[in-house]
Chains A and B, each alone.
Chain A
Amino acid sequence: MICEDNGGLLHAYVDRELDLVRSLEIEKHLQGCKRCRRAVQNQQALASAIRGSSFYFRPPRELKPRVHAALKIAKEHPWSMLA
């Protein structure tokens, strides 16, 4: 069942989104299933590669003052806000 659900449960397991009973079921299954163990390893490798890389885009420095100015204008001229 776990092997055949297209990995959704395994992903939720690695993401710690399952309750304790489900997690224990998965762990029991993993002991006897090499294919799912590999899938879990791959998912962990992928997640740590994404988190470990500098993939987070930082806003340019001028964005904050620009948004602040736009908010001030919107406050003074509320009719222009959602144009």
Chain B
Amino acid sequence: VHGPAKRDPTPAQERSKLVSFEVFAAPHMGAAYNLARWLTRNNHDAEAVVQEAYLRAHRFYDTYRGGDFRAWLLTLVRNTCYTRLRQNRKPSAILDEDMAELDSAQSNPEALLPRNIDANLLRQAIEELPLDFREAIVLRELEGLSYTGIAAIAGVPLGTVMSRLARARDCLQSKLAGEVRKGVLA
């Protein structure tokens, strides 16, 4: 059976596709930019990533099968970030950074974090997290995504999300507690 779906879209259909895409995509530009900015740690790269991800999203809009549009878009943003980071850095750089961070991530569960955590220290500590830990923290704490949602975006099993979040928070606690100790001794 040869139906109309086999034909190239008419100009009117193309226009309607763009309008429909923009209606869906425009409200999520904040989330797209926030994720890209945290992952790339750079305004210029974040803007370039969002633009590229939106172009890809529009190009592959036909493959979107309903469901959570923000999650679908954030998956493209995330993958575009990783591609860009790989292109801009030595192949081993991301891994080396991650290993160094992991070695130093040993929080002391007996220590209690101060009630007023210094926001600047915390921001810096998140920025210094390894890429996959940073991604999990941003998606969880800033986007409010469930473990299942994070797993879908990062393309990893649920258990990996759980352990990344646990270890990311250990890293953060260890850094914040270290700074507090330094402050006491100074």
Chain A residues with CB under 8 Å of chain B are 6-8, 10-12, 15, 17, 35-36, 38-39, 41-43, 45-47, 49-51, 53-60, 63-64, 66-68, 70-72, 74-75, 78, 81-82
Contacts and interface: CB of A to CB of B under 8 A. Distances in A.
B59 A82 contact: yes
A36 B109 CA distance: 8
A47 B147 CA distance: 15
Interface residues on B, range: 35 or more
5 contacts: A11-B166, A45-B113, A50-B137, A59-B33, A71-B58
Contact of A53 (B123, B140, B172): B123
B37 A57 contact: yes
A35 B33 CA distance: 38
Given A46-B172, A72-B18, A51 B54 contact: no
Contact of A46 (B34, B54, B113): B113
Contacts of A15: 140, 147, 165
Given A53-B123, A63-B29, 4 more contacts: A7-B166, A8-B163, A51-B142, A64-B26
Given A66-B51, A70-B51, A71-B18, A39 B29 contact: no
Interface string B100-136: 0000000101111111010100110010000000000
B123 A58 contact: no
Contacts of A63: 29, 33, 47, 50-51
A42 B176 CA distance: 11
B55 A70 contact: yes
B170 A56 contact: no
A81 B55 contact: yes
